[in-house]
């Protein structure tokens, strides 16, 4: 693309950039449409593509499938286990209610002489 920097600047996230005047020709129009499509797809998030791009071969189908699998796998394993809430069932069956409490004699014996 052909462009010329101008005296104006703009800031994005703390960085300053110089504005350019761009020759609005067929190359720029093609790039601009592709850039808008890419931005639109990124807003959806994840591995997505336009059907026309897949049919034309512009986007590699198999690499997109692999990327999609990784995204799905990551979302399934993302959450960490939470602590059980009061009143929820406890799945540990190694201890029953009867042997959960120590006898009085065990308490005093463990406390010392």
Residue 1 lies in a domain: yes
CA distance linking residue 97 with residue 8, whole number of Å = 76
Residue 36 lies in a domain: yes
Regarding whether 58 and 33 lie in a shared domain, the answer is no
Residue 97 lies in a domain: no
Tell me the two tokens of residue 108.
């005093």
Residue 44's pLDDT is what?
62
Q: Is the predicted pLDDT of residue 35 greater than 60, yes or no? A: yes
What domain range is 56 assigned to?
A: 45-78
Regarding whether 52 and 28 lie in a shared domain, the answer is no
What is the DSSP secondary structure assignment for residue 45, as one 8-state letter?
-
Q: Is the predicted pLDDT of residue 66 greater than 60, yes or no? A: yes
Tally of domains in the chain: 2
Asked whether 64 and 72 are in contact (CB, 8 A), the reply is no
Regarding whether 4 and 37 lie in a shared domain, the answer is yes
* Residues 23-47, mean pLDDT to the nearest whole number: 81
Residue 26's pLDDT is what?
92
Tell me the two tokens of residue 109.
């014996």
Q: Is the predicted pLDDT of residue 76 greater than 70, yes or no? A: no
Regarding whether 31 and 55 lie in a shared domain, the answer is no
CA dihedral 106, 108, 111, 113 (to 10 degrees): -120
Calculate the average pLDDT of the chain.
Answer: 75
pTM of structure: 0.37
């Amino acid at each position: 693309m052909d462009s010329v920097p101008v005296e104006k600047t703009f800031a994005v996230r703390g960085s300053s950039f110089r504005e350019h005047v761009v020759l609005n020709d067929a190359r720029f129009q093609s790039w601009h449409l592709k850039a808008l499509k890419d931005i639109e797809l990124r807003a959806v998030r994840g591995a997505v593509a336009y059907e026309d791009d897949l049919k034309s071969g512009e986007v590699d189908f198999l690499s997109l499938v692999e990327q999609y699998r990784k995204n799905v796998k990551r979302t399934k394993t993302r959450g960490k286990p939470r602590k059980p809430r009061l009143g929820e069932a406890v799945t540990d069956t190694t201890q029953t209610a009867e042997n959960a409490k120590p006898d009085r004699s065990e308490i005093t014996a463990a406390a010392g002489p």
